[in-house]
Structure 1
Amino acid sequence: MSRYISPVLYILLMLVGCAAFISIAGVRIGLFEPLIGFSLLKQSVCAALILSTLAALSIFVCRKECNVSSQRFFGLVLVVSLVYSLMWIVFYAQRINLPNIHDITTDTKMPPEFINVNFLRKSNENGLVYDPKWAAIQIANYPNVKPVMTKKSAQMAYQKALALVVERGWQLDATYPEVGLIEATARTPIFGFRDDVVLRVMTEGDKVRIDMRSCSRVGKGDFGMNAKRIISFMDDLNSRLNGMPFDQMRFLN
């Protein structure tokens, strides 16, 4: 019986692999939108779980046969499909409790405003009006999202922020040095979801304050990507401006 089961499992394994590849590659090359790719990936994970079950059943049903190569193949299919599905299940489980918001900013009272990005977003994508209700949720879940304060000049802060945007490989959408604004588009590592970013450099007393806002174009939640992006960027920017870890910013306030 194993000689009949093996080709079926092989074909199913190839189909799952193709679905996983297409779901990611299709988005990266612009074949379809990220949400479609994400949906296809979820279906491939479900298919992998079903394949794991079939492989386990095959091992049990054919256990009395003296076909070692088939048993090894069944075991290989079981391990590969199970590892693949569990990898994505763990990825999702680690983020399932994150808040269902997609707009994160270092200034929840007066968030930096987008100018050029307003013309880049489609009508079916998220709006750019900040919802004040998100402020309390953000503070509770992402307390490390904070602005950078420095005694360096506003011009230097602007140039350092702009250079860091370029280094990160984000698409530079617009620069407004006269008002201290930088707009860019970043993409998530796997599916390439587009998140719009705006940086604002302004003088506040005898210091310069740099704020940042990161907002997803699609989806109600962002799996914490916008907060992670801001924390990482501001940490690097603070090191370049102030020469100290980000958690020491309080000494500048």
Structure 2
Amino acid sequence: MSRYISPVLYILLMLVGCMAFISIAGVRVGLFEPSTGFTMLRESVFASLILSVLAIGSLGVCRKENNIAGQRFFILVLTVSLVYSSMWIVFYVQKSGLPKINDITTDIDTPPSYMNVSFIRKTKENDVSYNEGFASIQHKYYPEIQPLFTHLDKANVYLAISELVEKRDWEVVANYSQVGVIEATARTPVFGFRDDVVIRVMQVEDDQVRVDMRSSSRTGGGDFGVNAERIRDFMKDLSESLNKSFMPKMSSVR
């Protein structure tokens, strides 16, 4: 009987793989909306769990038939389906406790403003204006998101920022070196969602230069912590780059 079950499970495994691929690739190339992609991905996880149950039942049939080759195949199907479904379930559990906000900034009082990004966002995408209601939520969940202060020259700091933006392969939307503002677009690694970034460099008192950064999602009400992680990583790399290149006296907060 296992020889009849094997082709069925093989086809089901291929269908789960195709569904997962289409859900991700379709969003990346813009074939359908992110909500559709998430729905397809969720259904592929459910299908993968059902496939795992079927594989376990098939293993029992193989043991009765003493079919070693069949057992190996069903173990393979079980392993692949469990790894796939577990990966997304763990991801969801880890991110489920994060707040549903999509705009993070190091300056919640006077966030850096988007200038050119407002012209490239579509009407159905999120507005570029900052939602003041996010400030208290960010302070609670991401208190480590702070501006960077340095005694370095403003021009050198801006140059280091530009190099890091280029290194990350972000698409530069606007570059205003005279006023110390750079706008860029980053893409998430899996679905390729476009998130916009604006970085502001200002001269402040005590001969210090202050660097503020804002990262916000074009679509969706929540970002699964991506924007906060982007700012955290960028500021960390910027601090290390400035220390390595110029050995300044720096601090992450005033």
Q: TM-score range by the shorter chain?
A: over 0.9
Match in the other structure for 1:218: 219
Give the CA deviation at 1:233: 0.4
Match in the other structure for 2:166: 166
Match in the other structure for 1:76: 76
Secondary structure (helix, strand or coil) at the match of 2:108 reads coil
Amino acid at match of 2:2: S
Match in the other structure for 1:233: 234
Give the CA deviation at 1:60: 2.6
2:251 equivalent among 243, 249, 252: 249
Secondary structure (helix, strand or coil) at the match of 1:212 reads strand
Matches within 5 A, 1:2-151: 2-151=2-151
Give the CA deviation at 1:215: 0.1
Checking the alignment, whether the CA contact within 8 Å between 2:62 and 2:68 is kept in structure 1 is: no
Secondary structure (helix, strand or coil) at the match of 2:172 reads strand
Residues 150-159 or 95-104, more deviating: 150-159
Give the CA deviation at 1:30: 4.0
Give the CA deviation at 1:181: 1.0
Give the CA deviation at 1:67: 1.7
Paired with 1:161 and 1:133, the residues of 2 have a C-alpha distance of: 29
Checking the alignment, whether the CA contact within 8 Å between 1:214 and 1:230 is kept in structure 2 is: yes
TM-score by length of 1: 0.93
TM-score by length of 2: 0.92
Cα distance per residue 1:130-151 (max 9 Å; x no partner): 1112111111111211111111
Secondary structure (helix, strand or coil) at the match of 1:64 reads helix
Checking the alignment, whether the CA contact within 8 Å between 1:101 and 1:220 is kept in structure 2 is: yes
> Structure 1 unaligned runs (5+)?
none
Secondary structure (helix, strand or coil) at the match of 1:6 reads helix
Checking the alignment, whether the CA contact within 8 Å between 2:28 and 2:193 is kept in structure 1 is: no
Cα distance per residue 1:183-226 (max 9 Å; x no partner): 00000111111110000111111211010000001111111110
Cα distance per residue 1:85-121 (max 9 Å; x no partner): 0011001111110111010000000000000000111
Paired with 1:161 and 1:33, the residues of 2 have a C-alpha distance of: 33
Checking the alignment, whether the CA contact within 8 Å between 1:186 and 1:194 is kept in structure 2 is: yes
Paired with 2:224 and 2:5, the residues of 1 have a C-alpha distance of: 39
What is the RMSD computed on CA atoms of the aligned residues? Answer: 1.8
Checking the alignment, whether the CA contact within 8 Å between 1:154 and 1:208 is kept in structure 2 is: yes
- Runs of 4+ displaced beyond 6 Å: none
Give the CA deviation at 1:82: 0.8
Give the CA deviation at 1:78: 1.1
Secondary structure (helix, strand or coil) at the match of 1:173 reads strand
Residues 222-231 or 159-168, more deviating: 159-168
Give the CA deviation at 1:22: 2.2
Amino acid at match of 2:92: Y
Give the CA deviation at 1:62: 4.3
Number of equivalenced pairs? 250
